[in-house]
C-alpha cells in the first residue's frame, strides 16, 4: 500500500475518470467499471485503502460529496417535467416506498436472518435508488422521456427519504426497546426532519433572490451555491444525522422551480463536478472494503435476500403502488425491474452498522456485506439490462444516432430527405410555420418551436439526436445555437453552415470559430444562400457507395469541381460530416453523400424522352 496520500488521491481520481472513459468508449455501465476498479485497487491488490488513508476525514468527505451529488440531481427536478406523471410518481415515492420498506424488512428477517429491529432499519435504507447510479444508467440507455422522468424523480426524491426512514425505524426501536430512549427523542427526529426541509427551502429561496436581484456577480454564483449547499447540509446534519440529505434536496428543488436563468448556466458546471465526485466516491467506497466482507457476500442467506429484492420486492411494490394509474404494462415492467442501489446505501449502512453494534445488536455485523452484495448485484444486473430491456419493450429511442436540423429551407429539407432514405432519425425544427412548408410537403419530421426556448425542453425530446446542424440564414443565430447546446451534445457533434460575411470578419474569423459556435460545415463557399440557390435551380443530393472496385480516391478524382461533399455514413450508423478544418476519409462499405449537378437525372430524362419518341414514331408508322 502506498504511504503517499497525494498519490492515493491522484490514483482515486484517475481510476474514477478512466472508468468513465472506458464505459463511454465501450458503451458499458460506468458504475460497474468504477466498482471493479475500486475492488482491484483496494482489497484485491492492496494498493490503496481510503478508509485508513483518509482516517477521520473519510466519512465527512463521502457525506459532503453525496450532498453535492444529490443537490445537483435535485436541481433538475422541474415540476413542469412531470406534467401528466404526477400521480404515478407520487404513488411510487409514497406507497411504493412504504411497500418496499415492509417487504424488504420481512425479507431481511426471514431470509438474511436479521433481528426484527435491524431488519426494519436496513429495510428502510434499501428503498433508495439514488442519482449516483440511476442518472448514469438513464444517460446510457436513452430511455423515452416518460419512463426516464419516473425513474429520475423516484431516485432523487427517495434517496434522502430512505436514509430518514432508516433513522425513523432506529428511533422507534430505541423508544420501544431501550430504556433511556423517550418519546421526546422521537419527537425531536420529526422536528429535525421538518427543520431540514424548511432550511433547504429557505436556502434555495434566499440564494435565488440574491441571484435575481443581482447581489451576486456571475463569477461568484457557482462558488456561492457550493458554499450554501455545504452549509445547509452541515447545519442540518449536525442537528440530526442524515437529515442533511433532505435539506439539500429541498434546496435544489426550490432553486429548480424558481426558473432563474443563471441556474441553467451553472447546472452544466455542477454536472461535471457530479461526474468527478461520483467517480471518486465509488472507487473510494469499493476500495475500502475488506476481503472478509467480500467473502461474506457468498453466504446463502445474503444471496437469497438479494434475489428476493431483485425479483420480488421491487416488482411487487411498483405493481401494487401503480395500480389505477395510466402507466402502461411495459412501463410498469421496466420501472419494476430497474432499482440500482448506490452511494447512499453504502455510506449510511456503514453508519447504522456501527451504532446498532454499539447498541447491542450483534447481527448488524453483516450489514456492510449485505449492502455491498445488493449494491453490486443491482448495479450489474440493471446496468447491463436496462438498455436491452428498454429496446425490447419499445421504451428506448433508436440506437441509430439521429440528426437535428435547426432552420427550415429548401436545402435542409433535401438534406433531411436523404437522411430519411438512409434510415437516420432526423427532424427539422423552426419557429416559423411558413418556413416549414417544404418540410411538411416532403413529409419530413418537423417541430415548430424555438429551439432555444426553455419550453422546448419539455415539449421536444432531444434524446434520439447526437448531431445538431444549425442551418439558418443568420450566422450569429447559428453560432448561438451551437454554443448553447455545447454542454449537452459536445462541440464535435455540433455543426453550422459557413459564414456568409467572412470578408467582414476578416482576421478575427479564426478566433471566433474556435471560441464560439460549432464546426463549420462543408467547404468555404457552402453558405446558406449558395446551398439553397443550388437546390432551387435543380441540383441534387446523391448517395455513392464506396466499394473495393470504386474506392474513395477514384470518387474524388471523378467528381466535378462544383460538387460539395456533405457527409459519410458508416455501416455502424456513425455520421462523419465534411468540415472546413476536418479531414474525412470514406472506406469500403461507407456511403458518401454530396450535392452535385443533376447530370445522371438529365441523362435519364433524355433517355426516357428518346424512348417515348421512338414509340411515337412506331405508332405513327402503323
Give DSSP secondary structure letters for 464-510.
TEEEEEE-SS-HHHHHHHHHHTHHHH-GGGEEEPPPS-HHHHGGGHH
Q: Count the alpha carbons within 13 Å of 452 in the hemisphere toward its beta carbon.
A: 12
Model confidence at 601, pLDDT cuts 50, 70, 90, reads very low
Residue 267 pLDDT greater than 90, yes or no: no
Which of 255-259, 315-319, 455-459, 539-543 is the least confident region?
455-459
Q: Which of 108-117, 395-404, 425-434, 535-544 has the lowest mean pLDDT?
A: 395-404
Cell numbers for 414: 433535401
* 5-10: average pLDDT: 88
Residue 55: per-residue pLDDT: 85
Q: Please list, in sequence order, all residues whose beta carbon lies within 8 angstroms of the beta carbon of residue 314, skipping any fewer than 6 positions away.
A: 100, 336, 337, 339
- pLDDT tens digits along 317-369: 999 999 988 888 999 999 999 888 877 777 777 777 877 887 778 888 888 88
Alpha-carbon distance of 235 to 252, in angstroms, equals: 16
416-452 pLDDT per residue, tens: 999 998 888 899 999 888 888 888 888 899 888 888 8
277 to each of 20, 137, 272, 334, 554, how far by Cα in Å?
12, 16, 9, 28, 51
Contacts of 501 (CB under 8 A, 6+ apart): 475
| 559 class by beta-carbon count within 10 Å (0-12 exposed, 13-18 middle, 19+ buried) | middle
Question: Has residue 284 got a pLDDT over 60?
Answer: yes
State yes or no: pLDDT of 273 exceeds 80: no
Task: Provide CB contacts within 8 A for 521, sequence distance 6+.
Answer: 469, 495, 496, 497, 498, 566, 577, 578, 579, 580
Is pLDDT of 514 > 60? no
Distance CA 352, CA 220 (A): 38
Grid coordinates belonging to 533: 440557390
Largest CA distance in the chain: 118
- The three cell numbers of residue 315 are 416488482
pLDDT tier at 603 (50, 70, 90 boundaries)?
low
Residue 447 is inside which H or E element, if any?
A: strand 446-448
C-alpha 524/C-alpha 508 separation (Å) is 16
pLDDT for the residue 498: 84
Mean pLDDT value across residues 376-393: 87
- DSSP reduced 3-state for 454: coil
Averaged pLDDT, 79-88: 68
Does the pLDDT of residue 608 top 80, yes or no? no
Q: Are 316 and 100 a contacting pair, CB within 8 Å?
A: no
What domains appear along the chain, each with residue ranges and CATH number? 5-393 (1.20.1530.20), 402-606 (3.40.50.720)
Backbone angles phi, psi at 50, to 5 degrees: -55, -35
The number of residues in the chain equals 622
Please determine, for residue 572, whether its predicted confidence score (pLDDT) is greater than 70: yes
The predicted structure's pLDDT at residue 605: 46
- The torsion angle over the Cα atoms of residues 284, 287, 290 and 295, rounded to 10 degrees, is 120
Contact 480, 452 (CB under 8 A): yes
Q: 128-186: per-residue pLDDT in tens?
A: 886 667 777 776 777 877 888 888 888 877 877 777 777 778 777 777 776 565 677 77
Specify whether the CB–CB gap between 402 and 468 falls below 8 A: no
Distance CA 51, CA 33 (A): 20
Range of lowest pLDDT (137-146, 285-294, 309-318, 539-548): 137-146
pLDDT confidence of residue 303: 92
Strand order in the sheet with 519-520: 446-448, 426-430, 402-406, 465-470, 494-496, 519-520
Q: How far apart are CA 469 and CA 566, in angstroms?
A: 12
The pTM score is 0.70
pLDDT of residue 363: 82
Copy the grid coordinates of residue 473: 440564414
Are the C-beta atoms of 101 and 80 separated by less than 8 Å?
Answer: no
Share of the chain above pLDDT 70, in %: 86
- Mean pLDDT, the chain, integer: 82
First to last CA, the chain: 101
Grid coordinates representing 110 are: 426471514
**Model confidence pLDDT, tens digit, residues 552-564:** 888 888 777 778 8
Measured distance CA(128)–CA(152) in Å, rounded: 12
Torsion angle, CA of 563/434/495/463, rounded to 10 degrees?
-130
Amino acid at each position: 500500500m502506498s504511504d503517499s496520500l497525494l498519490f492515493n488521491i491522484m490514483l482515486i481520481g484517475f481510476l474514477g475518470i478512466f472508468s468513465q472513459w472506458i464505459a463511454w468508449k465501450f458503451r458499458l455501465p460506468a458504475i460497474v467499471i468504477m466498482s471493479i476498479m475500486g475492488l482491484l485497487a483496494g482489497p484485491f491488490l492492496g494498493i490503496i485503502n481510503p478508509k485508513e488513508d483518509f482516517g477521520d476525514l473519510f466519512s465527512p468527505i463521502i457525506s459532503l460529496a453525496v450532498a453535492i451529488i444529490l443537490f445537483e440531481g435535485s436541481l433538475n427536478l422541474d415540476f413542469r417535467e412531470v406534467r401528466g406523471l404526477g400521480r404515478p410518481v407520487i404513488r411510487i415515492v409514497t406507497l411504493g416506498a412504504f411497500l418496499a420498506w415492509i417487504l424488504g424488512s420481512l425479507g431481511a428477517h426471514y431470509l438474511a436472518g436479521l433481528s426484527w429491529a435491524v431488519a426494519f432499519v436496513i429495510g428502510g435504507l434499501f428503498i433508495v435508488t439514488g442519482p449516483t447510479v440511476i442518472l448514469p444508467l438513464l444517460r446510457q440507455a436513452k430511455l423515452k422521456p416518460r419512463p426516464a422522468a419516473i425513474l429520475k424523480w423516484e431516485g432523487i426524491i427517495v434517496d434522502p427519504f430512505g436514509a430518514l426512514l432508516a433513522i425513523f425505524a432506529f428511533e422507534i426501536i430505541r423508544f420501544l426497546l431501550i430504556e433511556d430512549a423517550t418519546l421526546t427523542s422521537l419527537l425531536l427526529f420529526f422536528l429535525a426532519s421538518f427543520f431540514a426541509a424548511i432550511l433547504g427551502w429557505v436556502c434555495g429561496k434566499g440564494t435565488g433572490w440574491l441571484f435575481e436581484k443581482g447581489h451576486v456577480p456571475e463569477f461568484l454564483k457557482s462558488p456561492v451555491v457550493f458554499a450554501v449547499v455545504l452549509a445547509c447540509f452541515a447545519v442540518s446534519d449536525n442537528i440530526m444525522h442524515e437529515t442533511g440529505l433532505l435539506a439539500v434536496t429541498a434546496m435544489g428543488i426550490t432553486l429548480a422551480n424558481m426558473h432563474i436563468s443563471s441556474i441553467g448556466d451553472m447546472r452544466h458546471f455542477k454536472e461535471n463536478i457530479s461526474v468527478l465526485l461520483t467517480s471518486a466516491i465509488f472507487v473510494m467506497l469499493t476500495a475500502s472494503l475488506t476481503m472478509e466482507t467480500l467473502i461474506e457476500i457468498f453466504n446463502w442467506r445474503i444471496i437469497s435476500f438479494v434475489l428476493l429484492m431483485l425479483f420480488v420486492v421491487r416488482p411487487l411494490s411498483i405493481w401494487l403502488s401503480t395500480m389505477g394509474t395510466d402507466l402502461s404494462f411495459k412501463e410498469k415492467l421496466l420501472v419494476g425491474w430497474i432499482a440500482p442501489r448506490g452511494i447512499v446505501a453504502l455510506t449510511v449502512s456503514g453508519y447504522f452498522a456501527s451504532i446498532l453494534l454499539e447498541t447491542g445488536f450483534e447481527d448488524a455485523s453483516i450489514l456492510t456485506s449485505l449492502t455491498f452484495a445488493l449494491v453490486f448485484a443491482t448495479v450489474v444486473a440493471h446496468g447491463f439490462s436496462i438498455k436491452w430491456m428498454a429496446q425490447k419493450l419499445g421504451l428506448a429511442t433508436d440506437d441509430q444516432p439521429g440528426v437535428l436540423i435547426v432552420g427550415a429551407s429548401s436545402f435542409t429539407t433535401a438534406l433531411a430527405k436523404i437522411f430519411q432514405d438512409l434510415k437516420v432519425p432526423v427532424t427539422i425544427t423552426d419557429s416559423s410555420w411558413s418556413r416549414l412548408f417544404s418540410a411538411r410537403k416532403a413529409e419530413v419530421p418537423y417541430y415548430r418551436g424555438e429551439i432555444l426556448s426553455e419550453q422546448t425542453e419539455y415539449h421536444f425530446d432531444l434524446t434520439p439526436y447526437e448531431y445538431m446542424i444549425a442551418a439558418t440564414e443568420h450566422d450569429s443565430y447559428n453560432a448561438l445555437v451551437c454554443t448553447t447546446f455545447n454542454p449537452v451534445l459536445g462541440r464535435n457533434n455540433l455543426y453550422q453552415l459557413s459564414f456568409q460575411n467572412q470578408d467582414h470578419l476578416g482576421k478575427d474569423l479564426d478566433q471566433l470559430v474556435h471560441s464560439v459556435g460549432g464546426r463549420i460545415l462543408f467547404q468555404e463557399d457552402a453558405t446558406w444562400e449558395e446551398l439553397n440557390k443550388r437546390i432551387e435551380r435543380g441540383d441534387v443530393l446523391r448517395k455513392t457507395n464506396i466499394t473495393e472496385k470504386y474506392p474513395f480516391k477514384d470518387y474524388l478524382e471523378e467528381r466535378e469541381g462544383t460538387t460539395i461533399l456533405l457527409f459519410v455514413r458508416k455501416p455502424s450508423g456513425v455520421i462523419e460530416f465534411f468540415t472546413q478544418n476536418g479531414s474525412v476519409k470514406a472506406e469500403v462499405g461507407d456511403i458518401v453523400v454530396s450535392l452535385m449537378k443533376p447530370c445522371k437525372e438529365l441523362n435519364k430524362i433524355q433517355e426516357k424522352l428518346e424512348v417515348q419518341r421512338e414509340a411515337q414514331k412506331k405508332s405513327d408508322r402503323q
